Structure 1
């Protein structure tokens, strides 16, 4: 939702605390912008108290000689600050609130007279003061990512509150263009803050404090008007007109940077999974629009959730704080034969409470899913060699049994564990055999099992979805017998499960193992593990696997690691992510979805259903009505939904056609 216009320079004004002069300094900025012949828009999203004391009314009252260029507006007005328990106040959701702010900004940008204009969005209170819904302002306004002006605190303790506010803004990705504060001659906070912020590339500007408020309204107006005249005068060296010039420079610099980024990227960057030979000009990367009243920043739907990593949304505040917490406490320290709380807590909860509960005894932490798979393969190769007594030459010829269409990452070992395919190249040597697996789908509202033709007829139709997922009840069926004939029982002795995509609540369960009725010897977790904030992977292993590497020689150990193994920042983020996921799993939205699927199935079907940890295993956050309607579309061959995942196949034979149709709207 980020907004950047050629014709409208927008800044958001935060205060280091309440009563720091935010409205006075914002009013002065409005007046100074108008004095430089700019159309000026002032927005106070939320105002409380009597109308005559409202901040937008103050801006209008002291707009100065160029008041015709000033437009002040308020979106939500209340008689008093919202109190807990107030029943008669209709409070907009965070999404509705921030959408209304963004819509008003776009409206101002599209004003036909705004060839060159400025806009100031003034927040209320301090940076962590709550909004209407109770969310702190920092988190509520964050989707806009507007350039920020921070009004510092000139009073006793103001140095601390100003720096604290700045760090809170920075932790959430805000860019502070300027710090303003009153020049209090007693505390002289600016003398400390100027060099502090100069080191961080932020200019601190000071303004004389306002005169005391006069009891007589007429006299007060005259005194206040004189004050605004003084601090916005062009003769005031280093005054607010200089601040306006600085803010204009920052705005123009952003636009210049944005326009230059596509070509600079093509000149220097080597993208993964991109054929650069197909990119012919700088317009191929996402580039800005030419219209001055249209935002140069265009929102796109992250269709792949940034390659299936974004668990809680981009840059969730709790995860950014976890990263900062661990970075500040630990930085990075070596992990082998050492321990620290984030890594230990993560290992213990995954083994004893999480997906490893009941079968795993150890957690091997690495850097990403592909590396986690390399580790899992090394574990499996060692165990198989010991178990079956393979000679050294036989060990070199070992391969894997897998599923067609599988993908484990792009490192050489992980690639070699996959069949030949479109990504095969000179360094790929497929080592193994890959079965074509059955799949589950829904078409025209009826669930079915699609079985490879070598095993059974193409589709086994008509069974309830809950029965299909009830593995224990299906072990005695003719279809299970067909599976057994197709796959020798000996091939099931040792198993690696790869829940990189499906694990940790992605399918609505902490682990899919109970649903499958099979527990692994080795299991790999990544992607969702850190909520999409940082790379990290954990390979869980059973005690038998761990013991296969025990010995008296170091060469018998699992000799795999990297410089940032089990780095504290990633582990702390992972622990916070697991906390958030556990909260979601217990939350109202998940319970409501489970109730909806329960109502859809009916009591008879539910009697056949698998129950995991007391919860129904077969449910989805996608409503059963939506899944049913989607399955009945002619263009849809089949659809399946479980937990957070919705998957569907289209009937179009040209798979590229769907990609070409979707790519303008989604980041795929």
Structure 2
């Protein structure tokens, strides 16, 4: 991840094209930094071409009078003067032994390791990391430099192009850097007095608050090496004079100032945040100091880059030479939104493309391609395939569920026989499960039983069953039946595999299914006979109830409820069924939807969260034709009068289309196959119900005495702790896992990152993205295990 040191200022030098003078500009910056008596480190991660022409050799040779303060290094060197991705292949063909192409991970680890070693060497200094070619030139594995270097996210100097066409290439390079989150501190280019690109670019970037510095161009290169070296040294001596005055020193001062301002900004963010921000789901009275505020400088993949103010506090001595930025695994997937990790380049480009083409455009009685394509995919190919006829857009999961409620209640009212009175319509209720949560807006809250999330206006409307739950206890996969069930029904039912437990259709003929039917029917009949309220819909979070405590529900019970509300012997008008898949849908649990698992189509379903890959809010509510026709007519008053200013905003729709495309490419890849095989009872087959988390890890944690139960599906792993029944207000899980937040040596092996986690009372949960590398999951598992095992031994 990113590196930031209080004592070592680092800048990465990108070029707007090849042959724009990156090495000359960087040499001048190195020379100027050394003349100011700084230790200077120059890194050329990849070099191609003859050794005598190598950039690191050039920088060292012309580093100036204080050359002894300058260290130069190249990490990967190849003889052929071609693009790095070709140079490494050519080296392999030329060698008797195959040359392994370093992966992006290996390449970045090498760069990061060198940066850390430099930070340990000096009390104060500058570092310049020079790239090869243009911003989109490939690195060794073929990934473009912009994307390959992006996890490190060093502040950037862009060397502009002073030649014909250079205005375009410089602006294009700037925009490419900007789209990927790079901070561009300066643009530097040569003063060509014919094309005068520097004049236009100075004006262009000034309106964007970006400093442009121009330098005298170097002399033409001579064939005679000795003469060429002589005139080159004279050029640098003039460009970087001993008097420490001139454009290049202005550039160095500016880069120093950018570094200082960045740290000052990060230093003050906790206090400013505590003074001005009201956080959601946070009791501010429990946030006792600035050190409780997590300052996220950037994010990439599954990680935050977190500013560790304490480790670099001005009160500390300069001997503390650790990076001020630490990687933290985003184990809540940023409130369940992350699909493919943070800052996925193709999603950023999709958003930029739609923003540039549309911005936002009004949607009623209009259409645009991003929204139309998304609706068609979700209805005809995605979770709506075979039952949905329409897609209704809204702006987040909570409003998406409110739309679903409006749809369901209207449809029920339109079909009810005899017709209901206005008072009855206003008092319609839903059937659901205790612990369900459909959002924070008032209507969504009214569709749940009263809970910690309720507010003063909350008026629960409906009936909620205490559901049977699924978990792994002491290594055994089991369904625990609610205490409200008849005593004749065993309290626990064990299963040999996830496939067996989630084989809903196969379990429909079981004695437990019959017990569910009898219990649910009798309970609903009693409620109906009381005539306190008409029930108009069934609303479920399929498989897992998220915010209620990561409650894994027996899917058989949910299927029984779906069948019952459609039984005309119980309800003369079949109740519309809503699946709230805001959290669980779109492969969060390894399945696109719970519909194929439950083997029962809803009338309405809701999708959000993962829909846009964690980039921005968007929700879609799918509905069957039955529901749509309840609103279809000649009167405007009969229409679904619900909408948002940003309904079907093109940016979100375009990003969602790209997200679904990327997900589709993951489904048959090796990490998914490997995980599915591990959870199968047959080593040669792939389980249909599976998890990215290791079975052995889940079983081992479930055996700890401090643990009541664990459960895992798809990307989700949850652990519920013993000994604290205060519910959501409990701090049990948070305290037991507090130590995993930071990077530490946990006794088993040193961790390379911390883990940012969220808890729900005495339940902690962890999530991966759909493409989290196996080695990252293993390190998270190891950190959780070592921490809980130590806590467990402390309790004995």
User: Which range, TM-score by smaller chain?
Assistant: over 0.9
1:162 Cα offset (Å) = 0.5
Quick check: 615-624 or 209-218, which moved more?
A: 615-624
Relative distance call for 1:40 and 1:236 in structure 2 (3 A) is closer
Q: Say whether residues 1:213 and 2:221 are aligned partners.
A: yes
CA distance in structure 2 between the aligned counterparts of 1:136 and 1:588, rounded to whole angstroms: 24
CA distance in structure 2 between the aligned counterparts of 1:569 and 1:210, rounded to whole angstroms: 45
CA distance in structure 1 between the aligned counterparts of 2:472 and 2:280, rounded to whole angstroms: 34
Question: Per the alignment, in what secondary structure is the counterpart of residue 414 of structure 1?
Answer: helix
The aligned counterpart of 1:458 is 491
The aligned counterpart of 2:111 is 101
The aligned counterpart of 2:265 is 257
Q: Deviations over 1:19-74 (max 9, x none)?
A: 11111111110001001111111111122233322211111111111011111112
The aligned counterpart of 2:370 is 342
The aligned counterpart of 1:531 is 613
1:197 Cα offset (Å) = 0.8
The aligned counterpart of 1:662 is 737
Does the CA-based 8 Å contact 1:620-1:642 persist in structure 2? yes
Matches within 5 A, 1:52-201: 52-80=52-80, 81-83=84-86, 86=92, 88-111=98-121, 114-201=122-209
Does the CA-based 8 Å contact 2:85-2:139 persist in structure 1? no
CA distance in structure 2 between the aligned counterparts of 1:570 and 1:462, rounded to whole angstroms: 42
CA distance in structure 1 between the aligned counterparts of 2:723 and 2:56, rounded to whole angstroms: 56
CA distance in structure 1 between the aligned counterparts of 2:109 and 2:622, rounded to whole angstroms: 43
The aligned counterpart of 1:610 is none
CA distance in structure 2 between the aligned counterparts of 1:634 and 1:78, rounded to whole angstroms: 56
Does the CA-based 8 Å contact 1:230-1:236 persist in structure 2? no
Does the CA-based 8 Å contact 1:515-1:617 persist in structure 2? no
Does the CA-based 8 Å contact 1:300-1:667 persist in structure 2? no
The aligned counterpart of 1:601 is 682
The aligned counterpart of 2:279 is 271
The aligned counterpart of 1:476 is 509
Aligned residues: 655
Relative distance call for 1:376 and 1:284 in structure 2 (3 A) is same
The aligned counterpart of 2:639 is 557
CA distance in structure 1 between the aligned counterparts of 2:246 and 2:370, rounded to whole angstroms: 49
Q: Deviations over 1:513-537 (max 9, x none)?
A: 1111111000000000000000000
The aligned counterpart of 2:332 is 304
The aligned counterpart of 1:575 is 657
CA distance in structure 1 between the aligned counterparts of 2:358 and 2:612, rounded to whole angstroms: 18
The aligned counterpart of 2:403 is 375
Alignment partner for residue 697 of structure 2, among 626, 630, 633?
A: 626
Question: Per the alignment, in what secondary structure is the counterpart of residue 12 of structure 2?
Answer: strand
Alignment partner for residue 653 of structure 1, among 706, 709, 724?
A: 724
Question: Per the alignment, in what secondary structure is the counterpart of residue 142 of structure 1?
Answer: coil
Does the CA-based 8 Å contact 2:677-2:683 persist in structure 1? no
Q: Say whether residues 1:226 and 2:234 are aligned partners.
A: yes
Q: Say whether residues 1:543 and 2:605 are aligned partners.
A: no
1:484 Cα offset (Å) = 0.1
Q: Kindly report the root-mean-square deviation, in angstroms, between the aligned alpha carbons of the 2 structures.
A: 2.0
1:119 Cα offset (Å) = 0.6
CA distance in structure 1 between the aligned counterparts of 2:706 and 2:75, rounded to whole angstroms: 44
Does the CA-based 8 Å contact 1:194-1:204 persist in structure 2? yes
CA distance in structure 1 between the aligned counterparts of 2:504 and 2:428, rounded to whole angstroms: 30
Question: Per the alignment, in what secondary structure is the counterpart of residue 642 of structure 2?
Answer: coil
Question: Per the alignment, in what secondary structure is the counterpart of residue 345 of structure 1?
Answer: helix
Matches within 5 A, 1:401-416: 401-416=431-446
Does the CA-based 8 Å contact 1:193-1:204 persist in structure 2? yes
TM-score (norm 2): 0.79
TM-score (norm 1): 0.94
Q: Deviations over 1:378-437 (max 9, x none)?
A: 111111212223221111111111111111111001111111122233122222111122
Question: Per the alignment, in what secondary structure is the counterpart of residue 666 of structure 2?
Answer: helix
Does the CA-based 8 Å contact 1:409-1:415 persist in structure 2? yes
